[in-house]
Amino acid sequence: MRILLVEDDNVLADGIARALRAENFAVDHAGNGLDGGHLGATELYDAVVLDLGLPIKDGVTVLREWRAERRDMPVLVLTARDGWSEKVAAFKAGADDYLTKPFRVEEVVLRLRALVRRAAGHAGAILTCGKLVFDAQLGTFELEGLPLKLTAFEWRVLSALMLRKEVVVDRADLIERVYEGDADVDSNSIEVIIGRLRKKIGPTMIETVRGRGYRVTATGA
């Protein structure tokens, strides 16, 4: 899962980015509305954390422009404590959820997981595929009832596949959801991660669809 964080307070942004990366998310950070607006319009994100008070271009304008361009990723806005009219403007512009400053970064993580899961079409938190269970609210995997330990990259690939289980996820789509914007990506890196995942969850659950991408399926389990 890859998150866009648009926040001009660098201390706050660092705290949110650190908390998200500790929970395996990939994070791109923009410090003003112009850069953030451009990233959200051109890159693929599972969700966005958008501050409303931003230099150059304010958050509500950024959000309105994304929605006008049919960029429909879930957006969690950050508002000032007494910003009632700001909240209303943000929801009218297409916000999905909000947090009032100050907040605990843990709450950002929990709200984002819920937004990403619902955007993928899952009302419930527990996603099962054969012997593999993903708790999309806690961000944890179990294999045959035992906790499955994954690296951040493995987690990003497997969660992207589980959120779309039984559906082929394009290789290019996976690359966008796994790597941060400034990462150097080897052409075969997704294959390497898939290979490591197959060692952990067995060789048959992740199906390679030649020329397209990958699919998590219970039929091979």
Written as one letter, the residue type at 54 is L
Listed ranges 2-10, 87-95, 127-135, 144-152: which one lies at the site for Ca ion (CB under 5 A): 2-10
Q: How many residues does the chain have?
A: 221
Residues near 156 by beta carbon (within 8 Å), at least 6 away in sequence:
1, 2, 24, 25, 26, 177, 178
Closest CB to Ca ion among residues 8, 35: 8
Q: Does 8 engage in binding with Ca ion (CB under 5 A)?
A: yes
Q: Does 53 engage in binding with Ca ion (CB under 5 A)?
A: yes
Q: Does 181 engage in binding with Ca ion (CB under 5 A)?
A: no
Tell me how far, at minimum, the Cβ of 30 lies from Ca ion, in Å: 12
Listed ranges 44-52, 127-135, 175-183, 211-219: which one lies at the site for Ca ion (CB under 5 A): 44-52
Closest CB to Ca ion among residues 53, 202: 53
Closest CB to Ca ion among residues 8, 135: 8
d(CA 219, CA 40): 36
Q: Does 51 engage in binding with Ca ion (CB under 5 A)?
A: yes
d(CA 90, CA 203): 46
- Which DSSP symbol is given to 168? P
Q: How many CA atoms are closer than 13 Å to the CA of 133, on its beta-carbon side?
A: 12
> What is the size of the binding site for Ca ion (CB under 5 A)?
3
d(CA 117, CA 153): 19
Distance of CA 132 to the CA centre of its chain: 20
Tell me how far, at minimum, the Cβ of 55 lies from Ca ion, in Å: 8
Listed ranges 25-33, 50-58, 113-121, 153-161: which one lies at the site for Ca ion (CB under 5 A): 50-58
d(CA 41, CA 116): 18
Tell me how far, at minimum, the Cβ of 109 lies from Ca ion, in Å: 20
Listed ranges 45-53, 102-110, 130-138, 175-183: which one lies at the site for Ca ion (CB under 5 A): 45-53
Q: Does 86 engage in binding with Ca ion (CB under 5 A)?
A: no
Q: Does 35 engage in binding with Ca ion (CB under 5 A)?
A: no
R_g of the chain, CA atoms, integer Å? 18
- Contact residues: Ca ion, CB under 5 A: 8, 51, 53
